[in-house]
Amino acid sequence: MKKTHILLTVFGAAALFLPLSNLIGLTGKNPVIAPIAGTSANFAAVSTILQNKCVDCHSPGMTRLPIYADLPIAKQLMADDIANASARLVISKAMYSGETGFTPLMLARLEGAIRNDAMPPALYLSMHWTDRVNETEKSTLLAWIAEQRSKLAWSADTAPALKGEPVQPLPLQLTLDPNTVALGRQLFFDKRLSGDNTLNCASCHSLAKGGTDQAKTATGIGGQVGPINSPSVYNAGYNLAQFWDGRAADLVEQAAGPVANPGEMGAEWDHVIASLNQVDSYRTAFAELYPQQGLSKAGVTQAIASFEQSLVTGNARFDQYLRGSTDSLSAQEKQGYALFKENCTSCHFGPTLGGLSFEKMGRKQNYFQLRGTALTTADNGRFNVTKQENDRQVFKVPNLRNVELTYPYFHDGSIASLDEAVKIMAQVQADKHLNQDEADSLVAFLKTLTGEYQGISLRQLRQTDLE
């Protein structure tokens, strides 16, 4: 009895000095669920690793809890750990059994955690000595992630040796109706869409300026200064949603917003449609291409969206590299890509290196304190849409295609140079301080993402080329 009392006292002392949330799983492992028939041998190994090392915090409802889990303090701490983990990555039973697949976002986040030894956390490992993901398990997981990426349609024309990369090339050809695109292009440049016939879509999204206005924030009708930086219209069709806060579900919904916004184009849709109806070519085109909607708000926004879908800037030097031309990049640029994969691809992945997730601005350090200026409503980010506190200062991750031309940077347009933007992002998102050689290499890589529009490099594209 005396020995048992001593052991309980020691255990109790350890519990006092360590968060109770780190004591999850001390009751042992549940039997591993075998993947469904038809999954690969590789996935069977991956499923075992996920079940043994990840599900306690990343699979709500499947968590294995110790006997003291219902104690008030322990219950709350464990609930917080599980909530924080599942907010970042949920691995459901359907996923680790092979019934449903992992999205590109989940693959990116899983890879980031593996490469940076971010999971399990150090405090958790202090009480779970055997739960560390070992090197063999890391290799198994990373090989499976590469295998899954190789199956994506995005990877179809990637060189075989690079099909598992977190970034895929933009297509060289698109299958869009040329007549619809041409109509949308005409509307994109038509100032009848503004309340005083002075602005068009290109006013804030100049195709000769990387798809932006290269200004800190947009300027609207009557010279009104907008609250937020204009994101690039190039490659916007890849975004999971539109605007920094994701308030528009797609390009059609996005096209409708600025026209009627009193601080942007300041028009009324009824007036816009009446003005366009006075143009014979518009009436004819809409009758042919949109017989159901006709010349209406719905038809206009669909046509503009079709044109914006065509704004894909392929054939960047990095695309050439991904297609197999390994000498397209210099040694410094390849080093920059290696650093990028190590630090950035949890958020900046896919064909446009972003636009596919929402992330907090300042995951590791407070960006807004570093900025040192008063908070604005625009700084609330996605919170302005969802009213959920967890979405405060969360923004759609910008895509990095043509990033050397889309300055100034961030939602607030506060940073003028790409070099400084790279350093700040490393600091506030990854808690890393880049030396100048690292920053130079990353900037060199990012400049390889500048592509072409209609066969002309965006570096050389001028307004006269668009007329």
pLDDT for 357-413, tens place per residue?
A: 999 999 999 999 999 999 999 999 999 999 999 999 999 999 999 999 999 999 999
**76 vs 48, higher pLDDT:** 48
Within the chain, all domains assigned CATH 1.10.760.10 are found at 178-309, 317-466
Q: Which residue has the tokens 């440049």?
A: 189
Q: Whole-number mean pLDDT of the chain?
A: 88
Over range 142-169, report the average pLDDT: 96
196 vs 61: which has the higher pLDDT: 196
Average pLDDT of the segment spanning 157-161: 96
Angle, helices 331-343 vs 436-447, to 10°: value is 100
Q: Which of 444, 467, 453, 456 is nearest to 211 (CA)?
A: 453
Confidence of residue 17 (pLDDT cuts 50, 70, 90): very low
pTM attached to this predicted model: 0.89
Q: What is the mean predicted confidence (pLDDT) over 294-314?
A: 97
Among 132-141, 201-210, 219-228, 229-238, which is the least confidently predicted range? 132-141
Residue 306 CB neighbours (<10 A): 25
Distance CA 429, CA 201 (A): 32
Q: What pLDDT is attached to residue 169? A: 98
Q: What is the DSSP letter of 102?
A: P
Average pLDDT over residues 454-467: 90
Between 216 and 132, where is the model more confident?
Answer: 216
pLDDT cut 70: percent of the chain above it: 85
Lowest mean pLDDT among 49-63, 123-137, 305-319: 123-137
Quick one: three-class SS letters along 37-99?
A: CCCCHHHHHHHHHHHHHCHHHHCCCCCCCCCCCCCHHHHHHHHHHHHHHHHHCCCCHHHHCCC
Please, what's the b/e burial string for 143-176 (b: 16 or more CB within 10 A of its CB; e: otherwise)? ebbbebbeebebbeebeeebbbbbbbbbbeeeee
The percentage of residues in the chain with a pLDDT greater than 90, rounded to a whole number, is: 72
User: Is a pLDDT exceeding 80 seen at residue 3?
Assistant: no
Question: CATH classification of 178-309, choosing from 2.60.40.420, 3.30.565.10, 1.10.760.10, 3.40.50.1100?
Answer: 1.10.760.10
What's the topology of domain 317-466?
A: Cytochrome Bc1 Complex; Chain D, domain 2 (1.10.760)
CA atoms within 13 A on the CB side of 40: 10
pLDDT of residue 37: 61
Q: Determine how many CB atoms are found less than 10 A away from the CB of residue 278.
A: 9
Catalytic machinery residues? 264
Q: Residue 208, exposed/middle/buried by CB under 10 A (0-12, 13-18, 19+)? A: middle
Reported as a pLDDT band with limits 50, 70 and 90, residue 123 is low
Residue 188, C-beta contacts closer than 8 angstroms, at least 6 positions apart: 200, 201, 202, 304, 307, 308
pLDDT at residue 34, rounded to an integer: 72
Q: Among 447, 446, 352, 370, which Cα is nearest to 412's?
A: 370
Q: What is the mean pLDDT of residues 155-179?
A: 96
DSSP designation for 355: S
Inter-helix orientation angle 269-276/297-309, to 10°: 80
Q: What is the pLDDT of residue 346?
A: 95
Q: Which segment of 15-19, 161-165, 317-321, 440-444 scores lowest on mean pLDDT?
A: 15-19
Given this model, what pLDDT does residue 341 score? 96
Would you give the DSSP letter of residue 206? Answer: B
Q: Which helix (H) or strand (E) holds 453?
A: strand 452-453
Instruction: Give the model's pLDDT for residue 360.
Output: 97
The DSSP code sequence of 271-327 is HHHHHHTT-HHHHHHHHHH-TTT-SSHHHHHHHHHHHHHT------HHHHHHTT-GG
Average pLDDT over every residue of 300-306: 97
In the predicted model, is pLDDT for residue 26 greater than 60?
no
Angle at 83 between CA 78 and CA 86, to 5 degrees: 120
Nearest to 194 by CA among 142, 241, 259: 259
Give the distance between the most distant pair of CA atoms in the chain.
98
Q: What is the CA radius of gyration of the chain?
A: 26
Q: What is the pLDDT of residue 247?
A: 97
Res. 5: pLDDT tops 50: no
CB distance 391 to 381 below 8 Å: yes
Residue 150: the pLDDT is 95
pLDDT tens for 223-275 read 999 999 999 999 999 999 999 999 999 999 999 999 999 999 999 999 999 99
Average pLDDT over residues 33-38: 68
Say yes or no to pLDDT of 2 above 60. no
Per-residue model confidence (pLDDT) at position 69: 62
pLDDT score of 42: 85
